[in-house]
């Protein structure tokens, strides 16, 4: 029976001495045919197994290599070495799985993140990725706990959909039609999707928001948390083709309520990880500090990882309008000295360098920017009243975080039927196909709002990892769909 084992994390935290236990895990190192560092993934800390001379024959000793899986029975004894209170004096060692030391890619040495991406199926076994994915798990748990405690309903929105919520057209097509040119055609030569599996053109979802709005008009407060897909040919450290999104939608909310909830939400989940993953964050903090030392002085981050997280949960977020943000950028030394790669003027979609300047240089804290130009935001965002000609804005808000820029995007939704119809016409959104969505404005429309949080960007922020491909188990990016 395997269920009688004790996890290494639990054993290292216990005060027990002399007790007989069974542990199982993978060998990290084996020194002097006497000391095995065993790890089972429950913590980055290894359990030292002491092997008395004569306990094992030479054949078995040779099979205890880095990566081999063991079942060890033994007695807990006080540790004479530094770093842990206890170790295990083995009375029986069974090898569950051999590992060819010459072929095993994860030798006990430092590996580059680029190399580890090539062996993403094995990188979970390293300390860095052990810490990252335990933090990822804790964040996911905290997200569900936060919304559950507030009485939100968790809704599963479709992964295959006929709508493009963002209207950007960067979608992955879903079809069973042949790709060899023999697919049925219309008279004008276009593909006849009525012959396809779903009888219409469909794609992988870019957002669960529109369906989430339908549920919010019945349950008041809902959230979705699922995979989303963007066919954006972007090879940056901030973009993935497949990623996870948290999208709450709330009836009877305005933009102010929306900002308040988003700020409380971010602080809650960060606080949860700081309380429950202290060991992992300390490891990642030290790792980031080492990484920062390799950078030129002017490129180093002002805060260490844990200090940055403390700063976010201990301070109110700065709140400014888009117009105020543009004015700050136009008056900044960086703009005057032409240090921005992208131009600054009212109406632009701010780039990451602009967002990071506001957060890291000007305010030195997270910033919520609201009231964006209507022309650069989605059709469903509520038009603000009393805008000056040529500067129409919508009740949209973005939360900008140090290190990565935008981490949350949200808005008050346009609840006025006529205004929404006009916006859809401006964006060439097919009104007939969206009748189901418009019903929420026809039958008991209410002010409502919501936001989206890119989960991987949040994990990036909390772990200090510089590349988003290192915070999702198997990254999906242009020209890359391994594993």
Q: Which residues pair with 23 in a beta bridge?
A: 72
In percent, how much of the chain has pLDDT > 70? 98
Q: Which residues pair with 259 in a beta bridge?
A: none
pLDDT average, residue stretch 401-408: 86
CB atoms within 10 A of CB 141: 14
Identify the band that residue 79 occupies on the pLDDT scale cut at 50, 70 and 90.
Answer: confident
pLDDT at 387 exceeding the cut of 80: no
Ramachandran assignment for 469, one of left (phi > 0), alpha (psi -120 to 50 degrees), beta (any other):
alpha
Give the Cα separation of 109 and 119 in Å (integer): 15
| Model confidence, pTM | 0.93
Residue 80 carries which DSSP code? -
pLDDT at 65 exceeding the cut of 80: yes
CB 49 within 8 A of CB 56: no
pLDDT in tens, 149-206: 999 999 999 999 987 666 556 899 999 999 998 999 999 989 999 999 999 999 999 9
pLDDT at 476 exceeding the cut of 90: yes
pLDDT in tens, 32-55: 999 999 999 999 999 999 999 999
pLDDT at 331: 96
Give the Cα separation of 5 and 49 in Å (integer): 15
In 3-state terms, what secondary structure has residue 243?
Answer: strand
pLDDT at 109: 86
pLDDT at 166: 61
Identify the band that residue 435 occupies on the pLDDT scale cut at 50, 70 and 90.
Answer: very high
Residues, the chain, total? Answer: 483
Residue 208 carries which DSSP code? S
pLDDT at 216 exceeding the cut of 80: yes
Annotate 321-371 with DSSP letters as a single string. EHHHHHHHHHTSHHHHTT--SS---TT----HHHHHIIIIIIISS-EEEEE
pLDDT average, residue stretch 412-436: 93
In percent, how much of the chain has pLDDT > 90? 83
Give the Cα separation of 199 and 201 in Å (integer): 7
Identify the band that residue 298 occupies on the pLDDT scale cut at 50, 70 and 90.
Answer: confident
pLDDT average, residue stretch 76-90: 87
For the chain, which domains are there?
A: 8-106 (2.40.50.140), 125-171+206-470 (3.30.930.10)
H or E element in which residue 220 lies: none
CB 318 within 8 A of CB 367: yes
CB 248 within 8 A of CB 261: yes
pLDDT at 344: 96
What are the phi and psi torsion angles at 238 (to 5°)?
-115, 0
CB 447 within 8 A of CB 254: yes
What are the phi and psi torsion angles at 158 (to 5°)?
-65, 145
Return the C-alpha torsion angle 413, 447, 244, 347, nearest 10. Answer: 30
| Cβ neighbours of residue 408 closer than 8 Å, sequence gap 6 or more | 262, 266, 397, 398, 399, 451, 452, 453
Cα–Cα distances in angstroms (integers) from residue 30 to residues 36, 53, 68, in the given order: 4, 14, 10
Selection from 300, 247, 287, 280 nearest residue 409 by Cα = 247
What are the phi and psi torsion angles at 442 (to 5°)?
-85, -35
More confident residue, 80 or 463: 463
Give the Cα separation of 250 and 229 in Å (integer): 23
In 3-state terms, what secondary structure has residue 109?
Answer: coil
Cα–Cα distances in angstroms (integers) from residue 371 to residues 258, 320, 325, 348, 393, in the given order: 13, 9, 11, 13, 5
**Distance separating the N- and C-terminal Cα atoms of the chain:** 32
Selection from 397, 410, 326 nearest residue 367 by Cα = 397
CB 159 within 8 A of CB 204: yes
CB 120 within 8 A of CB 106: no
Q: What is the rounded average pLDDT for all residues in the chain?
A: 93
Positive or negative torsion for Cα 192, 196, 199, 205 = negative
pLDDT in tens, 2-38: 678 999 999 998 877 889 999 999 999 999 999 999 9
pLDDT at 369 exceeding the cut of 80: yes
pLDDT average, residue stretch 470-482: 94
Annotate 130-190 with DSSP letters as a single string. HHHHHHHHHHHHHHHHHHHHTTPEE----SEES--TTSS----EE--S-SSS-S-B-TTSS
pLDDT in tens, 311-364: 899 989 999 999 999 999 999 999 999 999 999 999 999 998 999 999 989 998
Give the Cα separation of 370 and 304 in Å (integer): 28
pLDDT at 1: 59
In 3-state terms, what secondary structure has residue 292?
Answer: helix
pLDDT at 81 exceeding the cut of 80: no
Identify the band that residue 238 occupies on the pLDDT scale cut at 50, 70 and 90.
Answer: confident
Give the Cα separation of 280 and 128 in Å (integer): 9
């Amino acid at each position: 029976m395997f269920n009688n084992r004790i996890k290494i994390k639990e054993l290292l935290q216990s005060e027990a001495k002399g007790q007989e236990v069974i542990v199982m895990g993978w060998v990290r190192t084996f020194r002097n045919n006497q000391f095995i560092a065993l790890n089972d993934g429950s913590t980055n800390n290894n359990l030292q197994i002491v092997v008395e001379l004569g306990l094992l024959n030479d054949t078995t000793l040779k099979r205890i290599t880095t990566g081999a899986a063991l079942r060890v029975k033994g007695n807990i004894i006080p540790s004479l070495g530094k770093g842990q209170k206890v170790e295990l004096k083995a009375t029986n060692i069974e090898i569950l799985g051999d590992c060819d030391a010459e072929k095993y890619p994860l030798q006990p040495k430092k590996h580059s993140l680029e190399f580890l991406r090539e062996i993403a199926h094995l990188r979970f076994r390293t300390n860095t990725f052990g810490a990252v994915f335990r933090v990822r798990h804790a964040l996911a748990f905290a997200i569900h706990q936060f919304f559950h405690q507030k009485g939100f309903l968790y809704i599963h929105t479709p992964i295959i959909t006929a709508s493009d919520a963002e209207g950007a057209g960067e979608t992955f097509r879903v079809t069973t039609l042949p790709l060899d040119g023999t697919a049925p055609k219309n008279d004008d030569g276009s593909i006849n999707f009525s012959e396809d599996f779903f009888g219409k053109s469909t794609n992988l979802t870019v957002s669960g928001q529109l369906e989430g709005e339908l549920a919010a008009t019945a349950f008041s407060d809902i959230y979705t948390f699922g995979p989303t897909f963007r066919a954006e040919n972007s090879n940056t450290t901030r973009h993935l083709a497949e990623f996870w999104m948290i999208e709450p939608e709330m009836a009877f909310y305005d933009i102010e309520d929306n900002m308040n909830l988003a700020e409380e939400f971010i602080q809650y989940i960060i606080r949860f990880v700081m309380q429950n993953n202290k060991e992992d964050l300390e490891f990642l903090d030290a790792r980031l500090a080492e990484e920062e030392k390799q950078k030129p002085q002017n490129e180093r981050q002002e805060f260490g990882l844990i200090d940055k997280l403390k700063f976010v949960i201990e301070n109110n977020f700065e709140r400014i309008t888009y117009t105020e943000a543009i004015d700050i950028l136009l008056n900044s030394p960086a703009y005057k000295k032409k240090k921005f790669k992208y131009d600054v003027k009212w109406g632009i979609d701010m780039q990451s360098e602009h967002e990071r300047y506001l957060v890291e240089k000007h305010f030195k804290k997270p910033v919520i920017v609201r009231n964006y130009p209507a022309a650069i935001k989605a059709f469903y965002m509520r038009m603000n009243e009393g805008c000056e000609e040529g500067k129409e804005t919508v009740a949209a808000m973005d939360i900008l975080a140090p290190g990565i820029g935008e981490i949350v995007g949200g808005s008050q939704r346009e609840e006025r039927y006529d205004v929404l119809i006009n916006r859809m016409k401006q964006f060439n959104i097919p009104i007939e196909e969206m009748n189901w969505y418009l019903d929420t404005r026809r039958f008991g429309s209410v002010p409502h709002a919501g936001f989206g949080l890119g989960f991987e960007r949040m994990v990036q922020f909390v772990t200090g990892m510089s590349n988003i491909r290192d915070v999702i188990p198997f990254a999906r990016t242009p020209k890359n769909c391994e594993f």
